[in-house]
Amino acid sequence: MNIALGFTPMSDNYPQSCDGLVKDGVIILAEGARLPEGTRVTVIPLHVADDIPEIDSIYDIAKLAVPSGIPDLSRNIDHYLYGHPKASDAQP
């Protein structure tokens, strides 16, 4: 993600706003921009880079599903995972 910020001096020592760029997840401020250690900041992206990483496949879990061939899997999951009696075999 690239972020372009402006540099507006608030005083002779510290800026009110400054330019910067995100590189490897770290915000690099423009040359000459200085902020005191511990200064709280707010970052407002002006432009989002086109090279956004692909979303992790776990978030698209439906694409990972495959047919199991077990027609009663959802009803008898405990049987298939832990060996419990099948729900259809349970006595009233």
Q: Which range, of 12-16, 21-25, 44-48, 64-68, averages the lowest pLDDT?
A: 12-16
Domain extents in the chain: 8-86
Which residue is it, tokens 């880079």? Answer: 49
75 CA to centre of own chain: 34
Does 41 have pLDDT greater than 50?
yes
pTM: 0.35
5: pLDDT confidence band, cut at 50, 70 and 90?
very low
Give the number of C-alpha atoms closer than 13 A to the C-alpha of residue 77, restricted to the C-beta side: 2
pLDDT of residue 2: 43
What would the mean pLDDT of 69-86 be, rounded to a whole number?
A: 92
Measured CA to CA, the distance from residue 41 to residue 17 in angstroms comes to 10
Widest distance between CA atoms in the chain: 84
